[in-house]
Amino acid sequence: MMHNLTIAEQIKGLKNREFSSLELTQHYLNRIDDSKLNAFISVTSEQAITQAKMADSILAKGNASSLTGIPYAHKDIFCTKGIKTSAGSKMLDSFISPYDATLTEKLNYQNMVMLGKTNMDEFAMGSSNENSYYGPVKNPWDTKKVPGGSSGGSAAAVASRISPFATGTDTGGSIRQPASLCGITGLKPTYGRISRYGMIAYASSLDQAGPMTRTAEDSAIILNVMAGFDTKDSTSANKSVPDYTQNLSKSMKGLKIGLPKEYFSEGLDKGVEKVVMKAISDYETMGAEVIEVSLPNSIHAIPAYYIVAPCECSSNLSRFDGVRYGYRCDDPKDLNDLYLRSRSEGFGDEVKRRIMIGAYALSAGYYDAYYLKAQKVRKLVSEDFKKVFKEVDVVMGPVSPSAAFDLGSVKDPVSMYLADIYTLSVNLAGLPGMSIPAGFSDNLPVGLQLIGNHWSEELLLNAAHQFQLKTDWHNSSPVD
């Protein structure tokens, strides 16, 4: 079946005329119609058919790019001209973007086919995809479980084979954690590697887009298109983009893997630990060397992150005031009432909670005590990684302390925040990180996290691809 082909295989199939982009696109649209996962907020069927027909005409002329005609799902945090961009919020339920995000433009330039916009935690705030205005996404491996967040819709779409790949964003683990919980490959590149222009901001110094795919090879193919400098984004890195598919076949012999002792302490599920350690031993059999390392300040990552991110979110979300665009309350009595009720009614509980935390931490008398101190801790977290990368090439460990948990089972926000304990440090330090399928615990997928030094996406993709050549976990599917 076409949906079981990887992107690399679909590219060959289109090139060899084994099927058309229209056939491929219609196949996925039919699967989306049959899906019960709530993975999509908007399905853009008519546009997808039009794009597929255009892609077929370009393919027929023989001047197509490698990704021409390949369908994909777009996280509903990226602006798409003429199509609703909601960020999973009631606040933007009626917002039709007047322009495309840079990432959207890049994918359009390749003549790819957008199937629709995927469901997500509101404004990317969450670890379970239960904070969406459009209801929770369900995990395709067990529909009573969460898919992870905030890119849960994207992860569920790829895992259930209703899209060959999807875009995601990662502010504190929101690509890697749902990739782990849904059993797919998810890559969060170095901060600044992919343009954030047109990506609705949560925390500007932490947000980073990335690909969510079945395999590391597919992620490399997609990253080639997604990465690059953008003059419209002041945080975009002016660095050349290598061909990420060039060095996938390099041997793991001599690779030095760092195992942080802090990642294997109390709180890590035993089943998850067993899967992760088996994956590490697989790398050893491939010739890699494992070295125990320490990231002593990683224990402070959660409190530091949950000061920095809410501070930035309270600033970024101040623009949603009921005046210019987005949700507006009915019959406001005065300007104050307009602001108060538009924001109270338009934002969900988790978003309001983080805005309040951020506004408090940035207020007079508390800025130094909280925000500046958190930024100092952030520096310490980054310095820990710098020391470790003098000894090792890549750091490995768990992505999440557990496999997918039950929908509605975590009521306490702080307990939910702890789900990001192994991923937050990577964002605070601006490093690249990956989750790759590594096995199962209680019949649920478990991901292995790979963390690299700045701009080492090539190395991570190489290490991930070599693991996937030796194992078959990435081919496991919850559907036929």
Which residues are designated catalytic? 75, 150, 174
* Neighbour tally for 344: CB within 10 Å: 10
Give kind and range of the element (H or E) at residue 329. none
Q: Are 42 and 94 in contact (CB under 8 A)?
A: no
Instruction: In whole angstroms, give the CA distance from residue 222 to residue 216.
Output: 10
Helices and strands: H and E segment counts in the chain: 15, 11
Q: Are 14 and 70 in contact (CB under 8 A)?
A: yes
Which tokens go with 130? Answer: 């239960």
Instruction: In whole angstroms, give the CA distance from residue 453 to residue 196.
Output: 21
Going edge to edge, which strands form the sheet with 209-213? 40-43, 113-118, 71-75, 165-169, 209-213, 185-188, 433-441, 444-452, 394-398, 256-260, 289-293
Q: Where are the alpha helices (DSSP H) in 210-250?
A: 216-226
Q: Determine what percent of the chain falls in helix, strand and coil, rounding each to the nearest 5.
A: 45, 15, 40
CA angle, residues 416, 180, 465, in degrees to nearest 5? 155
Sign, Cα dihedral of 47, 52, 54, 55: positive
Q: Are 217 and 182 in contact (CB under 8 A)?
A: no
